Amino acid sequence: MRMITLSEAATLLLENDNFHILTHRYPDGDTLGCAYALCYALRTLGKNANVKMNGKLPSKFTYLAENYCEQDFPCDFVVSVDVAADSLLGELEQEYKDRIDLCIDHHGSNSLKADNTLVDATCAAACEIIYVLIKSMKVEMTVDIANAIYTGISTDTGCFCYTNTTAQTHRIAADVISLGCDFQMINRINFETKTRAKLKMERMVYDTMEFYCGGKCAIIYTTLAMQKALGAGDDEMEGLASIPRQIEGVKMGITMREKEDGTFKVSVRTNDGINASEFCARFGGGGHMAASGCSIKGDLSSVKYMLIKAAEEVL
Amino acid sequence: MRMITLSEAATLLLENDNFHILTHRYPDGDTLGCAYALCYALRTLGKNANVKMNGKLPSKFTYLAENYCEQDFPCDFVVSVDVAADSLLGELEQEYKDRIDLCIDHHGSNSLKADNTLVDATCAAACEIIYVLIKSMKVEMTVDIANAIYTGISTDTGCFCYTNTTAQTHRIAADVISLGCDFQMINRINFETKTRAKLKMERMVYDTMEFYCGGKCAIIYTTLAMQKALGAGDDEMEGLASIPRQIEGVKMGITMREKEDGTFKVSVRTNDGINASEFCARFGGGGHMAASGCSIKGDLSSVKYMLIKAAEEVL
């Protein structure tokens, strides 16, 4: 792994062609925003580029791919965006894990195996890096690129609300809005729309909320049975992780979500300098200081017990 | 009423002294942010200035007044900030209604009686106008001013989420963050903290939700009895108005809040170009295209019936 600068990354992209751009599993707004923005930018430069989806494109993000169609070419250069570790390559791991030419990421904990790595952990979203990179390649920004960039920076900052937001985040938002990005549609989809099923899911989740460590730890969960009872899909499950940390006095909010494969996907959100990334590393996960995740195998009560025990040691 | 430009307003402020700055009743982040920012700026210029609170400073906003203390001087010049109509002068109406020298506002519907009026309806928050005004007066920005400006623009845009947000809103946010404003603390207070009482209030409010007009209108309410049962104060009641519009398919979300004086304070939030300001004008209120309010006297069921009838005519 060779750490490179932004201008070295730009040179690599300019000198190569026939790109596959890899997203991380459970694709979110940032990895998708990066992938589509970079793909559109490379195509503007006359290059071949495809976005390699990791699972299905979530229905709420279909607007990103409105002007996208898969191209047919043999892949020569593999770029990953917002993928922090090999395990997050998901269904792309088999095909690509030993042939990533360039890793672009904003996770300080990045451990992905790649020939060249560009990490800037001061960026709230990997899309900030992609934006600066595209500008440095002198690509003319299109509305599609602007929409993709805005999607990444707004979703990774909870619409400019999380502590990772910086002056740069707002400057880029101002730039892409000036370029005509449809931030009103994007905000509405990501932050202002709740299906009735989601509303019901939230209320059901509130019923699971328990407090530990004298109120400093709040934990909520969803089970497959709850999801099935409400007919809730992935869209309804989004954003639940931000619920427990919001409660006054809570320093660590833990959200457990039962998955089909017998594991719980665990999201940890923290306040006041509690290190969520270290906490999740105990269970083989990672992420950011205040927002991290891991997967734990087991049934509801045993996984919950493990998490509470670990929280008690930290808090 | 004389409509004036921003530079004329700056001249008026620079040429005068001994300011009283009026906020609107039920003071929110924008009117308070404007008032404190302008007050600190005028004091930086060596002038006397006081903020005239309308009711009590909400506890969540006490950080705005941390470095503020009332000055003792005879008032020579009265400025109102973010006050759209005489009726919104509340408890200040008696003393000031015929002597407002300068009205600064961002409500296109502004009808406040004042000698000079500066309205810019393209601004998401009146704090955007105040920021540009302070800069044009060549006042050096302090952290207190930055905090006050950020408070106004972030609260009036729902943390940069509402459709009124513009590139300028983000540019000003970037500027005040660069100046050292504590946006993390401000966001946490305004957008990321829920007391357990607020959580309970939200859940109780969800139980009141009813849909009309084929799901295009959602209506919720709170009563004094509900508030009392939960021990909920004004802080717990904040933000409820954004709940009903969020539901998929809803074009008009109506929130009714019973007040001590036998009226319901009604907040209307709309999507898709439905005019909330016109709707509220039917009941003597007003505001913005997508976010307006009014007060209606009556009991729960009669007020609700009036609102539903009016909504049926519009939708």
* Record: contact B177-A196, CB cut-off 8 A: no
| Reported ipTM | 0.85
Question: Is B245 in Cβ contact with A188 (below 8 Å)?
Answer: no
Give the mean pLDDT of A48-74.
96
Out of A125-129, B100-104, B121-125, B187-191, which region has the weakest mean confidence (pLDDT)? B187-191
Average pLDDT over residues A127-136: 98
Whether B173 contacts chain A with CB within 8 A: yes
Report the pLDDT averaged over residues B186-207: 86
pTM of the predicted protein model: 0.86
End-to-end CA distance of chain B: 35
Distance, CA of B248 to CA of A130 (rounded, Å): 32
Chain B segment 132-161 residues within 8 A of A by beta carbon are 158-161
pLDDT band at A198 (very low <50, low <70, confident <90, very high): confident
pLDDT, tens only, A77-127: 999 999 999 999 999 999 999 999 999 999 998 999 999 999 999 999 999
Whether pLDDT at B85 is above 90: yes
Among the partner residues A161, A184, A193, nearest to B191 by beta-carbon distance:
A161
The CA distances from residue B91 to A60, B62, B85, in Å, are 47, 20, 13
pLDDT for res A149: 98
Cα B302 to Cα B125, B205, B297, distances in angstroms: 34, 19, 9
Query: Across residues B168-175, what is the average pLDDT?
Result: 98
Among A54, A55, A22, A60, smallest CA distance to A237 is for A60
Per the structure block, which two tokens stand in for A5? 């600068």
Identify the pLDDT of residue B201.
Answer: 87
Please state the rounded mean pLDDT for residues B56-61.
Answer: 92
pLDDT bracket for residue A234 (50, 70, 90) = confident
B248 to A193: CB separation less than 8 angstroms, yes or no: yes
Residues of A in contact with B160 (CB under 8 A): 159-160, 170, 173
| pLDDT higher than threshold 90 for residue B220 | yes
Q: Residues of A with CB below 8 A from B194's CB?
A: 246-248
Output DSSP code: residue A118.
E
Task: Please state the separation of Cα A7 from the chain's center in Å.
Answer: 24
Task: Give the gap in angstroms from C-alpha A163 to the nearest C-alpha of chain B.
Answer: 5
Count Cβ atoms below 10 Å from residue A221 Cβ, excluding itself: 21
Residues within 8 A of A (CB atoms), B 275-314 only: none
Residue type for position B132:
V
Looking at residue B230, its pLDDT comes to 85
If you measure CA to CA, which chain A residue comes closest to B182? A163
Using a CB–CB cutoff of 8 Å, tell me whether A60 touches chain B: no
What pLDDT, on a 0 to 100 scale, did the predictor assign at position A83? 97
Closest chain B C-alpha to A282 CA, distance in angstroms: 27
